[in-house]
Amino acid sequence: MWKQRRVYEGMLDGLILLALIWAGVKFSWDLPRWYDIPTFDEAEMLRAGVELTWAKVSKLKSEWSPLYVFWYAFLNRVARPESRVALHDLNWRILAVLASVGLYAVLRRYRIARIYAAGLALFALLSRLVWFDLTRSVLLAVVLTYAAAWAATWPRQRWKRLWVGGWLLGLAAFARPEYAFPAMGLVLFAGVDAARAWKRRPWRWTSRDGLLLVPVVLPTIGIMVWGLPFGHGRSVYAFGQHFAFNLWMCLGQPETRTWEEEVEAAFGSIQSIAQAVWRNPTMFAQHVLCNLKRGHKVVGQMVIHAPWSGLRYIYEAGATLLAWALGTLWVLARHRTRCRRRWLVGWGRGDLLFWSMVAAALLAPIVIISSLKPHYRAQFGWAWLTLWAYLCLPRQYTSRPWYRTLLLAALLIAVTPPTMAGLSAHPSWYPTLYNRSTVQAIARITASEPGPIVVSAHKRLAHYFLISYLDSRFEIGRRLPQEGALAFIQRYRPDILIVHFPWYDGDDSWRVFREHPEAYGYWMYPIGKQRALYVRSDRFPPPSSR
| Tens-binned pLDDT, residue by residue, of the chain (546 aa) | 556 667 777 778 888 888 888 888 888 887 888 788 888 888 889 999 999 888 888 888 888 889 999 999 999 999 989 889 999 999 999 999 999 999 999 999 998 888 888 888 888 888 888 888 778 899 999 999 999 999 999 988 899 999 999 999 999 999 999 999 999 999 999 999 988 888 887 777 776 777 888 888 988 998 888 888 876 667 788 888 888 888 888 888 887 777 888 888 888 888 888 888 888 888 889 888 988 888 777 776 766 655 444 444 444 555 555 566 666 666 666 666 666 777 778 888 889 999 999 999 998 888 888 888 888 888 998 999 999 889 887 777 655 555 556 666 666 655 565 565 555 444 445 567 888 888 888 888 887 778 788 888 876 556 778 888 888 888 888 888 877 888 888 888 999 988 887 777 777 788 888 888 888 899 999 988 888 899 999 888 887 644
Torsion of CA 7, 10, 12, 14, to 10 degrees: -130
Cα separation, 164 vs 213, whole angstroms: 9
- Picking from 371, 393, 421, the residue at the C-terminal end of a domain is 421
Task: Give residue 247's identity as a one-letter amino acid code.
Answer: L
- Picking from 389, 421, 453, the residue at the C-terminal end of a domain is 421
Q: What residues contact residue 357 under an 8 Å CB cut-off, 6+ apart?
A: 182, 185, 186
- Picking from 398, 421, 444, the residue at the C-terminal end of a domain is 421
My answer on whether 522 and 471 are in the same domain is yes
The values of phi and psi at residue 341, to 5°, are: -65, -40
3-state secondary structure of 298: helix
DSSP β-bridge partners for residue 457? 498
* Structural domains of the chain, count: 2
Residue (of 133, 63, 92, 83) closest to 462 by Cα position: 133
My answer on whether 450 and 381 are in the same domain is no
Cα separation, 325 vs 317, whole angstroms: 12
Cis peptide before 452 (omega within 30 of 0): yes
Domain that holds residue 366: 2-231+297-421
My answer on whether 389 and 489 are in the same domain is no
3-state secondary structure of 92: helix
Q: Would residue 258 count as lying in a domain?
A: no
Q: How far is CA 233 from CA 46, 267, 370, 403, in A?
A: 21, 15, 16, 53
Residue (of 452, 455, 517) closest to 490 by Cα position: 517
242 near 370, Cβ under 8 Å? yes
My answer on whether 317 and 408 are in the same domain is yes
pTM of the predicted protein model: 0.89
Cα separation, 144 vs 382, whole angstroms: 12
